[in-house]
Amino acid sequence: ASRELSDSKLLLPGKSLYQALLDSVTLCNDSVKLQIVSEKNKVPLLVEIYAIDGNIFRLKINEISPLKSRYEVPDVLIKNLPLRGKLSIAQKETGILVLTCANEDCKLHITANPFQIELESKGETVLSVNTNGLLYFEHLQPPPQNRCDISYIPQCSVCDAENQEDLGLWQEEFGSFLDIKANGPSSIGLDFSLHGCEHVYGIPEHAETLLLKNTSDDDAYRLFNLDVYGHKIHDKMGIYGSVPFLLAHKPNRTSGIFWLNSSETVVEINTKAHVPSRSPPAITKQRVVPQTDVRWMSESGIIDVFLLMGPTPFDIFKQYAQLTGTQALPPLFSLGYHQCRWNYEDEQDVKTVDTGFDEHDIPYDVIWLDIEHTEGKRYFTWDKKKFQHPERMQELLKRKKRKLVVIIDPHIKVDPMYALYSQAKKKGYFVKNRKGQDFEGICWPGSSSYLDFTNPEVREWYADQFAFKSYKGSTDILFVWNDMNEPSVFKGAELTMQRDAVHHGNWEHREVHNLYGFYQQMATAEGLIKRSGGQKRPFVLTRSFFAGSQKYGAVWTGDNIAEWSYLKISIPMLLTISTAGISFCGADVGGFIGDPEPELLVRWYQAGAYQPFFRGHANIESKRREPWLFGDENTRIIREAIRERYTLLPYLYSLFYRAHTTAEPVMRPLWVEFPKEQETFGVEDEYMLGNALLVHPVIEQKATTVNVLLPGSDEVWYDFRRFRRLDYSGTLKIPVTLESIPVFQRGGSVVPLKTTVGRSTEWMTDISYELRVALDSKDFAVGELYLDDGHSFQYLHKKQFLHRKFTFHKNIFSSSCADEIGQYHTKCVVERVLILGVQKQPTSVTVSLQDGKDKEVVFTYDAKTSMLTLEKLLLNVGADWEIHIK
C-alpha cells in the first residue's frame, strides 16, 4: 500500500479532529451543506448531504478551496440520479442538528463536536459516520521549493509541515521506481459503524471467504487492481478488480456502503460487542449488541460515499443498481459453454477442436483465441502464417451457429509500422509519463504504450477500430476478451503502471487506476455495438473491473490454479462479485495454471455448469484438456454436465433478464433468499441459482458424501434429478458419486427447461420446453420465462419479447402474460410439465385454451416420488392456457 495509507494508521480511535459549524448550514433544493473544521489545522471542509430516491443518502466531503481540483470519479454513476426531495431541519439546538426526509421515516442526527452523523430509520439507528473519529483529509500543497512564495499553507492532517520532507511524503521509491507527488500526499479516510451487524460482505475482488473478516493493521482488505499470476488464497491483497461496495446484514435489515473512489483503497473491519449510546443505564446489560466498524482509506480524490438503507437484500441490490446500472442483458450464445486455451495454434487446430465437440456429442457455443493468434502481439491483426484466412475460419464456425472470441489487450506494441500504434501516437492517445512523453512499459509485445481510455475521444476512436473495414478479417461472429487491463506492466512497480503517469485532463494514474479496465471494456462494448449499427448486443469479457462494469459485459476471477482449493474458493469469490452488482461472472473451469487430475476437472465442469459464465481455459504450458481427453467415462460425465447447462438455458436467460431489469443477482448466497435464517449467513460452499435452485458443488477430493444445508423450517425441497421430496430442512448428509453434484429445487417454484439440447444455443431456438413445477407446503408454485431473439436490442427498442408467468394454485396450472408491453412470435411450445409434490393420483387432467375449447391431457403419476407428468401438450409458450387437475 502507498505511504500515505500506511501513515494514516497513526490516527487511532478517539476524539474526532473535526467539528461541524452548524451556523454554516444551508438548505438547497437538492442537498444540505455545512462546513466542518479540523481542530489541528483550522482548515474548513465542505460537507454535502443528498437524499436520493429509493432510500439512499450521499455524503460528499471536499476541500472548499483546494490548490487545484481533486478527482471526482466520472462515468460510473447513472446520469441524473433521482433526488428524493428536499431535506428539512426537524431540530436544531446547541451542538445537534436533526434532518428529515420527505415521505420517508428517516432521520439524520448530526452532532457538531465531535462531528458525527447517525442515520435512523423508524426509530432504529442503522448506521453512523465518524463514530470513532477517524475522518481525515490530507490537503493538497505546493511543492516544497515553492512554499516560501505561498503566504498560507494548509498543513497535513497527519504530520507537521516541517517534517513532511523528512518523511518522504513528496516522493516514494518502489525498488528502482520513483513516485513523485507534485502536491504532496492527498489521502482521505472515514469510518462507519453498522449497528447490530456482525456479518458483512462485498468489496471484491479477493480470494477470500464470503464473510468479510476482522482485520488488523497489516491485513486490511486492499482494493487495487493488479495482475497476480496464480494469486494466493485467503489473501486480502487486491487482485484484478475492485468494487468498493460493502453490504451489512442482520435478520431484520440489510444496509450498504458504496465508497466511490478509484484510487488505491484499503478497508479495515472490526466487529465487536456494543452498548447503544441511547440505552437507559438500567437496561444496558440487556442491550449489548454486535456492531461492525468499517474504515475506508483512499490514496487520493474526495470522500464521496453512498449509504444504502435497504431494508431488504433485494432493496440493496436495486439501490446499488440505481446508482451504477444493472447487468447488461447478454446475448444468449454467451450463456452457453466456451472453449478456450492459451493458445489454439492455427486455423486447423480451431477446426479440429470444433469438430471434436460434434464427434463427442458435446454442445458448445464459442471458441477463443489468445495472444498468439496475432501478428507479433499486435492486436486487431492475424498471424499471417497460422491464420491466413480468418474470415473463412469464421464462416465455417458461423455455418455451425457458433462464435469466435479473440483477445485484445490495452498495451500497444511500440512499432511505427503498426498502423494502430502510429495513429494513436500521432493523435496523442497514449498515457504520458510525468515528463509529458508517451509512457512505455514492457508487456507481451515487448516495449508498449498504453491507450488512455479515460479520454472520451480515445474511447470513440478505439470503438471505431472494431468496424469491419478497420479490423480486417473480423466478422459479425467475432467478440472480444479484454485481458491485462489492470493495467499490467511487466517490470513495473507491482507489475502495473506508475502512479504519477498522466492521463487525460492532467489527472495522475493514482487517481484513475482502478477505472482503467472499466474504461477499456466500455470502449470495447461500444465498438461492438457500433459495428452492428446499434442493432446487436455485444459480448465482452474483462479481467479488470470496477463498480458499474456490469453495464458492459462479463468478468472472470483471473489466473487460478488447477487445485481443489481454487475450485473451493471460486464459489465465495463469485458470490461476492455477484452481490456487488456483476451477475455475469465465472471462474476458469479446470484452473488456468497446471494440469488438473480428471476428478478435479469433472467436479469443476459440474460446478461451472450451474454458474453464470461457463468457460474452460488453460495456460500455454498446460496439457491439452478438451473435454474428451480424459477417458470415455470422464468424457461421458463432462458431456452430461455441459448438456445439463444447455437444458437449463431458459431458466438462466430468464434470471439474466431479472438481473437486467430488477438487479437481482443470478447467483446468490443463501442469506439473500433466507435473510432471517442465521445459519445461512456464513454458508459459502453452496448457493442459490435464482430463487428456485440450490446448488452444492463437490469441492473435496474423493468425496462420498456432502453436508447440505436446506434452509427454511417451512420450506419443501426436491432432488432436481430424482424428483424426491425432502420434507425436512437443516443440514443433511447427502451421498454423492462422480456422476453429478447435489442440486435441489425449492418448493413453490417453476423452472423452465429445454426438453433436449442442440450443438449450440442457436440450434435450440425451436426446441420445446419442459416446465418443472415444485409445489410448496401449501400446494402452490410460481415461476416465469423470458424469451426474445437472443441477440439484438429489439427487446428494448421495439418491445419484441415474451415474458410469461406460470402459476399453480388450487390444482390449476396456468400460463399468463407477465408484461403486456412485450410481443414476440415464436413457434416454441410447452411439450411437457412435471409437477412435483402431487399427493394423490388425479382422475383426469384437461387443458383449457384461449378459444374456449378443452382437451384431455395424457398423464402418468409416480406414487413413489409424488410426481405428475403431463406429456404431448404442444401448448404455445406465448398463449394463455390453464391445466385443470381433478
Q: Tens digit of pLDDT for each residue in 813-831?
A: 999 999 999 999 999 999 9
Q: Tens digit of pLDDT for each residue in 742-753?
A: 999 999 999 999
Q: Could you tell me which residues are beta bridge partners of residue 253?
A: 250
Q: Is residue 163 predicted with pLDDT exceeding 60?
A: no
Q: Nearest 5°: phi and psi at 834?
A: -110, 125
C-beta contacts of 114-118 below 8 A and 24+ residues apart: 114/15, 114/16, 114/18, 114/19, 115/16, 115/18, 115/19, 115/20, 115/36, 116/16, 117/49, 117/59
Average pLDDT rounded to a whole number, residues 589-593: 98
Q: Is residue 8 predicted with pLDDT exceeding 90?
A: no
Number of CB atoms found within 10 A of residue 164's CB: 19
Q: Is residue 869 predicted with pLDDT exceeding 90?
A: yes
Q: Tens digit of pLDDT for each residue in 9-20?
A: 433 445 668 999
Catalytically annotated residue among 268, 304, 483, 762? 483
Q: Nearest 5°: phi and psi at 499?
A: -70, -25
pLDDT attached to residue 713: 87
660 touches 327 (CB < 8 A): yes
292 touches 197 (CB < 8 A): yes
pLDDT attached to residue 84: 76
Q: Is residue 598 predicted with pLDDT exceeding 70?
A: yes
pLDDT grade, residue 277 (50/70/90)?
Answer: low
Catalytically annotated residue among 264, 559, 684, 788? 559
pLDDT attached to residue 102: 74
More confident residue, 206 or 144: 206
Tell me the domains of the chain and their CATH numbers: 3-324 (2.60.40.1760)
Percent residues over pLDDT 70 in the chain: 94
pLDDT grade, residue 176 (50/70/90)?
Answer: confident
Catalytically annotated residue among 486, 494, 762, 770? 486
Name, in order, each residue with C-beta under 8 angstroms of 874's C-beta and a sequence gap of 6 or more: 768, 829, 830, 831
E-assigned strand segments in 690-748:
693-695, 705-710, 717-719, 725-726, 730-735, 743-746
What average pLDDT does the chain have?
A: 93
Quick one: three-class SS letters along 450-491?
Answer: EECCCCHHHHHHHHHCCCCCCCCCCCCCEEEEECCCCCECEC
R_g (Cα) of the chain, nearest Å: 28
DSSP 195-246: ET--EEEE----BS-SSPPP--TT--EEE-----TTPPSSB-S--S----EE
Cell numbers at 683, concatenated: 454458508
pLDDT grade, residue 86 (50/70/90)?
Answer: confident
56 touches 323 (CB < 8 A): yes
Q: Is 655 helix (H, G, I), strand (E, B) or coil?
A: helix
786 touches 769 (CB < 8 A): no
Question: Which segments of 376-533 does DSSP mark as H helices, in order?
Answer: 390-399, 419-427, 456-464, 509-512, 516-531
More confident residue, 648 or 170: 648
Q: Is residue 258 predicted with pLDDT exceeding 60?
A: yes
Q: Tens digit of pLDDT for each residue in 180-238?
A: 898 899 999 999 999 999 999 999 999 999 999 999 867 999 999 999 999 999 999 99
Name, in order, each residue with C-beta under 8 angstroms of 318's C-beta and a sequence gap of 6 or more: 54, 662, 663
Q: Tens digit of pLDDT for each residue in 425-447?
A: 999 999 999 999 999 999 999 99
The yes-or-no answer on residue 559 being catalytic is yes
pLDDT attached to residue 705: 98
Percent residues over pLDDT 90 in the chain: 87
pLDDT attached to residue 886: 96
Q: Is residue 165 predicted with pLDDT exceeding 50?
A: no
C-beta contacts of 21-27 below 8 A and 24+ residues apart: 21/112, 22/92, 22/95, 22/97, 22/110, 22/112, 25/89, 25/92, 25/97, 27/86, 27/87, 27/88, 27/89
pLDDT grade, residue 166 (50/70/90)?
Answer: very low
Average pLDDT rounded to a whole number, residues 648-657: 98
Cell numbers at 90, concatenated: 426537524
The yes-or-no answer on residue 686 being catalytic is no
Q: Is 783 helix (H, G, I), strand (E, B) or coil?
A: strand
Cell numbers at 22, concatenated: 452548524
- Residue whose C-alpha is closest to residue 822's, from 796, 784, 855: 796
pLDDT grade, residue 475 (50/70/90)?
Answer: very high
pLDDT grade, residue 690 (50/70/90)?
Answer: very high
DSSP 799-847: ---EEEEEEEETTEEEEEES-TT-------EEEEEEEET--S--S-EEE
DSSP letter (8 states) at residue 883: E
pLDDT grade, residue 580 (50/70/90)?
Answer: very high
pLDDT grade, residue 675 (50/70/90)?
Answer: very high
Q: Is 49 helix (H, G, I), strand (E, B) or coil?
A: strand
- How far apart CA 327 and CA 577 sit, in angstroms, is 12
Q: Is residue 334 predicted with pLDDT exceeding 60?
A: yes
* Strand pairing report for 265-274 and 725-726: unpaired
- Residue whose C-alpha is closest to residue 547's, from 188, 75, 30, 179: 75
